[in-house]
Amino acid sequence: MKKGRLSELHDSPRFPASIREFMTDFLAFFSAHFFQYNPVFPVIKKVLDKTEIKEIKDFCSGSGDNVLSLERFLNKKNSCGVNIELTDKFPNLTAFKRIAEKSGGTIRFHGDVADAISPHPGRHGFRVMFSATHHFSMEELESIIRNAVDNESAIGFFDYASRNHFKTLLLMPGLIPLVLCITPFLRPFRWTRLLFTYIFPIVPLVLFIDGFISRWNGYGAKDFVSLAKKFERDKWICEYGTEKNFLGTGEVVWFVCYKPFAGKDIMKDN
């Protein structure tokens, strides 16, 4: 079990909602336009193919741009008809509506508070979380997986905030300049976004602090070995690994747990 976990500033319920939305807007723009999660989309498609699931429920959605990229990947060319629902503990409804409209109806959103640890009971197809595992302790992640398995739902974690101190020191100094460069392109346009980025630089400062904390709290693929052993039984399959991101500056750590549809080959891929 990892020790010395830190709490991110924007995880607090008392943190200003508008500043949190500005932060998630930036993070979503960065991960989508710099293709941070595209390398793990085939992993998600593999789970969908083996389970014949047609519904994805995204927890901790942030601003949802990752899911829009995923939807386009899954439904391009020969449409596989996958529908996706956005949810979050602090839902960014403005961003959710924008993503839903862009998807043409294949992405919808849940406007109420959605807790990944204690979701509403019932099957949710394939539950996924992007850029979220670093918010939870290993015990909480185990609880999230157990809830999914108990409700016959596949589960997948995907996070590029792995705990690599060398890369943290290498990459973090470039975060603030990146925020300053990207902010004019973020939508919807808001004067307050510019105010709290350039005049009173609260957004880049908190992004820097929370960015460091997220990497400090991050997990590597080896951290999921024990979880895989706990849940890989009764035809349930657990897999984990890493994929290099588009720019090659980091890696996406992933973990999936699913039960293949009856009749499907349950042997793992080599």
Domain positions in the chain: 35-165+218-258
Q: Are 81 and 71 in contact (CB under 8 A)?
A: no
**Strand ranges inside the chain, DSSP E:** 55-59, 83-88, 107-113, 126-130, 154-159, 237-244, 251-258
Report the pLDDT value the prediction gives residue 233, as an integer from 0 to 100: 83
Pull the structure tokens for residue 155. Answer: 């589960």
Report the pLDDT value the prediction gives residue 263, as an integer from 0 to 100: 55
Question: Running along the chain, 270 residues long, what does each successive block of 10 average in pLDDT?
Answer: 76 95 94 90 96 95 91 75 93 94 92 88 86 95 95 95 73 91 95 98 97 92 94 93 80 96 54
Report the pLDDT value the prediction gives residue 155, as an integer from 0 to 100: 98
DSSP annotation string for 140-202? HHHHHHHHHHHTT-EEEEEES----HHHHHHHGGGHHHHHHHHGGG-SS--HHHHIIIIIS-H
CA torsion angle 51 151 257 32 (round to 10): 80
CA distance 116 to 128: 10
Report the pLDDT value the prediction gives residue 268, as an integer from 0 to 100: 47
What class does CATH assign to 35-165+218-258? alpha beta
